[in-house]
Each structure stands twice: as structure tokens, then as C-alpha cells.
């Protein structure tokens, strides 16, 4: 077997079960290298307890096998007792302590990877690592079902992000919910939401990052117009899902008959933030939530916005086109959102039953062929809506400039979606 080509040996190891793979370790030196390359390609850990073990395990030639790290940020289990009941709201001190806990663990992770980079020589230094950070969660034995406590209003913040070391070994970063919550029976109420500034802070310390998978990031604010224009020289694939409402609070969409067209946002001030101690209004609003329809309104919103508002959606599309101009190696770009038509209250009575309870995919997709044998393809999945001539020309110029050839353009009908569809993969269909 030792005379097999290395590619065949790698395939044997790849398809072997765990027990067989352990036995293959002793077949020959070539099989040992292949098994170790497979077994040592990934490491899953909690940041609080396993960073020291991680550095002990990955030494010498094993370091260069490392391709994937999954990290779960740990938060302690909260115990509710008669003498020390869990408070309804987090205090200022508790919020600060939680931020410090998150910061310590992220800092420990980055320092461990930096130590690995500096300790190993050029031949064994890891590269191309896919780093997966799970959104922290925190369980408790509190059976009072306090919604102030379960639906936390304060996000976890990374303190002093400038102190993080720069890592050259990370190529891909993913931040999403903990795998412990998937199929575990635990509610997502246990999740601790993260401050979105954490994403940009981590990106700034990963100069070789090529892929960012973050399920909570949103498009930059127009206030950033005066800042230096970003540039992504190596980005090849861009896929952005946006929410139907802009960060300013103004909706990108309105009802099919103009409903909600004039809705405006408002400036968020200190008084809009949740209090950090119990107050006199808590009991009254608890009753509204539990007994006066507040819970129903929150879980069954009036979803009627399916027609774009030109003055709001076009700046977003223009920003998307502007961003693509800064991506010289771009091959595919997608911008999309999911829309639902399920009006509530009296509005529902104004529409036929067969038009209600529908989902739509709205957006655009741009293809830039690598072979340069054909021109780019721009697909619009926007129903009867059309962008302004000025905006449309910008997308046309972008395609012609990138490929140097005429491009194709397709206008596609609404894509109706079944509720069972795996919606995150729909744009690839």
C-alpha cells in the first residue's frame, strides 16, 4: 500500500471511518502523514479553558495542517435562588463585567494564534485558516419568564480592540449563533447579542482575510461618505442580504397601494436605551405585553411592504455599484432581501385571500466571467419595478468597464418562495 500515489492514500484516509483511520496511522510513514493531515486540520474549543492545550498540541509540522478553528465564547450559568435572585435587568456593573469577559476571551484567542505564528518557522507556520466564532449564549434556571431578562437590550462590546494583535494566518471569518442552540431544545433567548462594531474591529486585525460570513452586519451609513473609500483588491465573491428597513429607520419598501410610504425614522437618543435598573413603568408594560396584545403584535407584525420606494432603495443600489467598482477581481455579486406579504388588522380584509401569505425574493445578481469569452450578466429580480436611467447606466458602465465587452441583462419575474425553501441558498437557484 505504501507504493500507492499520495492522492490515492489521501482518498483512502478521507473516506475511512474514525476507527479505521486510527489503524491506518501505523501502516507506513506516508499513511501516518495523511492521517495526521486530516485529523489535525481542525480544532474546536472554548476560549476560556483550551487555549493552552491548543498551543501544546500544535507544534512543529502539525501547525501547518491547521485549517479550521471553531471557538465558543463562554458565559457562566446563572443560578436563581431565594437569597440571590436573578435581577430583572442587568446593571451597569454587570454590563461592564460582561464586556470584559468577552474581551478577555477574544484577546486570549488572538494572542494564542499570534504566538503560533511567531513560534513556528516559515515552513510550519499556519496559513489560510477559517476562523469560526460562535455567538456567546448564557443559560439560567430562572423560571419567572422575565422578558426584560431573556430578551436582552444591551449588546456585548469588545473593549480596546486596538490592543488585539494582527494575524496573517486567518483567511476566512465566520460569526454566527452557537451550535449548542441548534436542536438542543434551548431557546435563542439565551444568546447574547454582539455589538456590530466587533466585526469591523476583528476585520482590521486580519489583513489576509478573503471571506467574511457574518449574519448581522448591515450596509454602512451615508455619514461615512467623508471617510476614505474602502478598497477590496482580492475579493471575488460578494453576497449581501439586506433588511427591508434602512439603518436610519426609513423603509426601503412600501405597500402595493402606497401604504406606509411616508413613514420616517427618528433620532435615537439616550432615553431610547433600556434602563439598567427596575423602574415604575415595568409592571405596566409587562401587563401590556402579556394581556393587552403586545406579545401578539410583536410576533405577528403587519407585513405589507413589497414595492420599492425609489428615493430610499436607489441610494442603496448606487452604494452597491460603487462598492463593486473597488473590487477589481470580482466574479459574482448579489444583493437581495426576502419580502413577505401578510398584512394584519383591517388591511388584510382589503386583499384577496390568494394574494396573502406570500414570500418573495427581491434583488439583483451580477456575473463577471473569469474566462473573458463572454460578457458579464446582470440579472434583476425586481418584478415590475425599474431603476432610474441614471442608476441603470451606472450598472451598465460597471459591466462594460470590468469585462471590456457588451453584457447581457435579464429582467426576471417575482420569485415566489415556499415556506419550506432553504432561503439562504435561493439566490443560487
Print pLDDT tens along the chain (429 aa). 667 776 777 677 677 777 777 667 677 777 777 666 656 666 777 666 677 888 888 888 778 888 888 888 888 888 878 888 777 778 888 889 999 999 998 998 899 899 988 888 787 888 888 988 888 877 777 666 666 666 677 888 999 999 999 999 898 888 876 655 544 445 556 778 888 788 888 988 988 887 777 654 444 444 444 555 667 777 888 888 898 998 888 999 998 888 888 888 888 888 887 777 777 777 777 777 777 666 666 666 788 888 999 999 999 999 999 988 888 888 899 999 989 888 876 667 677 777 777 888 899 999 887 766 677 899 999 989 999 999 999 998 887 766 666 678 999 887 777 654 444 444 444
3-state SS, one letter per residue, for 98-152: HHHHHHHHHHHHHHHHHHHHHHCCCCCCCCCEEEEEEECECCECCCCCCHHHHCC
All three cell numbers of 89, joined, read 435587568
Please say whether the beta carbons of 14 and 38 come within 8 A. yes
Of the CA atoms within 13 Å of residue 314, those in its CB half-sphere come to 13
Decide: pTM greater than 0.95.
no
Write the Ramachandran bin of 217: left for phi over 0, alpha for psi from -120 to 50, otherwise beta: beta
Amino acid at each position: 500500500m505504501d507504493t500507492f500515489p499520495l492522492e490515492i492514500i489521501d482518498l483512502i484516509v478521507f473516506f475511512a471511518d474514525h476507527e479505521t483511520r486510527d489503524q491506518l496511522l501505523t501502516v507506513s510513514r506516508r499513511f501516518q502523514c495523511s492521517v495526521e493531515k486530516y485529523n489535525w486540520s481542525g480544532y474546536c474549543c472554548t476560549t476560556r479553558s483550551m487555549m493552552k492545550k491548543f498551543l501544546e498540541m500544535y507544534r512543529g509540522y502539525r501547525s501547518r495542517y491547521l485549517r479550521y478553528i471553531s471557538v465558543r465564547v463562554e458565559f457562566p450559568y446563572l443560578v436563581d435562588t431565594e437569597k440571590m435572585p436573578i435581577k430583572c435587568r442587568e446593571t451597569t456593573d454587570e454590563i461592564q463585567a460582561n464586556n470584559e469577559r468577552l474581551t478577555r476571551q477574544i484577546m486570549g484567542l488572538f494572542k494564542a494564534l499570534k504566538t503560533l505564528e511567531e513560534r513556528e518557522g516559515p515552513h510550519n507556520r499556519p496559513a489560510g485558516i477559517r476562523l469560526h466564532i460562535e455567538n456567546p449564549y448564557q443559560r439560567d434556571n430562572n423560571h419567572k419568564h422575565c422578558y426584560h431578562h431573556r430578551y436582552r437590550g444591551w449588546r456585548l462590546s469588545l473593549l480596546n480592540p486596538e490592543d488585539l494583535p494582527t494575524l496573517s494566518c486567518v483567511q476566512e471569518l465566520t460569526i454566527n449563533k452557537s451550535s449548542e442552540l441548534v436542536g438542543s431544545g434551548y431557546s435563542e433567548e439565551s444568546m447574547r447579542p454582539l455589538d456590530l462594531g466587533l466585526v469591523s474591529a476583528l476585520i482590521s486585525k486580519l489583513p489576509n482575510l478573503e471571506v467574511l460570513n457574518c449574519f448581522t452586519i448591515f450596509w454602512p451609513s451615508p455619514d461615512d461618505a467623508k471617510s476614505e473609500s474602502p478598497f477590496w483588491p482580492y475579493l471575488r465573491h460578494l453576497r449581501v442580504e439586506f433588511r427591508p428597513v434602512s439603518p436610519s429607520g426609513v423603509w426601503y419598501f412600501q405597500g402595493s397601494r402606497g401604504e406606509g410610504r411616508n413613514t420616517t425614522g427618528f433620532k435615537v437618543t439616550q432615553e431610547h436605551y433600556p434602563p439598567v435598573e427596575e423602574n415604575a413603568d415595568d409592571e405596566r408594560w409587562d401587563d401590556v405585553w402579556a394581556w393587552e396584545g403586545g406579545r401578539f403584535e410583536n410576533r405577528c407584525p403587519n407585513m405589507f411592504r413589497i414595492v420599492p420606494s425609489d428615493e430610499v432603495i436607489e441610494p442603496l443600489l448606487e452604494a452597491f455599484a460603487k462598492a463593486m467598482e473597488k473590487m477589481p477581481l470580482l466574479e459574482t455579486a448579489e444583493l437581495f432581501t426576502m419580502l413577505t406579504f401578510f398584512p394584519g388588522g383591517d388591511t388584510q380584509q382589503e386583499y384577496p385571500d390568494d394574494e396573502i401569505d406570500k414570500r418573495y425574493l427581491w434583488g439583483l445578481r451580477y456575473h463577471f466571467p473569469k474566462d473573458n469569452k463572454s460578457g458579464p450578466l446582470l440579472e434583476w429580480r425586481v418584478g415590475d419595478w425599474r431603476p432610474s436611467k441614471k442608476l441603470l447606466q451606472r450598472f451598465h458602465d460597471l459591466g462594460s468597464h470590468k469585462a471590456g465587452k457588451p453584457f447581457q441583462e435579464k429582467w426576471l419575474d417575482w420569485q415566489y418562495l415556499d415556506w419550506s425553501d432553504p432561503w439562504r441558498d435561493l439566490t443560487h437557484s
